[in-house]
Chain A
């Protein structure tokens, strides 16, 4: 019985699927706008996620982007976390993600502090240039996805046509 358990444990690694666990080349751009005497921020995130599997495709991928201070996640706010969905990620594909979130000063300030950007400068300049976010300040969390074998997908498409 013990040998069977060990064998099953080892076999479980054969079909292992690696979900995307990091974002590639993440940049943010912050724009400011004055509305009702209040500063409104628009945070635009430009990034991508990659499917590192060679034989499984992901469909209806749902994830969240968290900002971190290097050690821990920043406090919850309108920009933390930022949810997103991707309809499909094929093997070896990097899918671009472009997100835009409107938030107030209280939501954006912790992020500006981490990036060592003064809020006053952002407001004065109407926003920031594109800022590259290092991996230690950003985190990807996978919520759910469906995966299918690429072989089955391709066979299905070819037979569909026939």
Chain B
């Protein structure tokens, strides 16, 4: 039976999973380290509530790529109402008030869930890549042992 050379397979598998992990890390990192702290700061402000809440809503209106505003389950259905009402609120130039904080927190929670999913997916692909590299170096060492 012809022996298959696994080395290129492990090589490409490790590279591809590493690239996917890198892309996911950038997406998760941007949300976790830059956007979410920014939004939290705006939502915790006690002054200029209208202006800060509007800025926060504008950031939240652009959803996290893995937590887009579609395919809602029963628990997340209220999010549609929040988006509809707040879009109209800004369009009609109404002011945001302190009580709107609770609804903005719900949108933030969705973003956080999305970024955590992205982070966990990144960890998964990192582990796959490490496994691939492990198999690559093991197979290479085995082949070198056979030839020497």
Interface residue range, chain B: 10 to 19
The B interface is mostly helix, strand or loop, or mixed, namely: helix
Chain B residue contacts of A153, Cβ below 8 A: 87, 91
Chain B residue contacts of A90, Cβ below 8 A: 84, 87-88, 91
Number of interface residues of A (CB under 8 A): 16
User: What is the total of A-B residue contacts with beta carbons within 8 Å?
Assistant: 43
B3 within 8 Å of A by Cβ? no
Known: A150-B87, A154-B87, A158-B90. A92 touches B80 (CB 8 A): yes
In the complex, the answer to whether A54 meets B87 with C-beta atoms within 8 Å is no
The A interface is mostly helix, strand or loop, or mixed, namely: helix
B68 within 8 Å of A by Cβ? yes
Contacts from B to A (Cβ < 8 Å):
54, 57-58, 61-63, 68-70, 80-81, 83-84, 87-88, 90-91, 93
Cross-chain pairs A/B with CB under 8 angstroms, 9 sampled: A54-B63, A54-B69, A54-B70, A91-B84, A153-B87, A155-B58, A157-B91, A158-B54, A160-B93
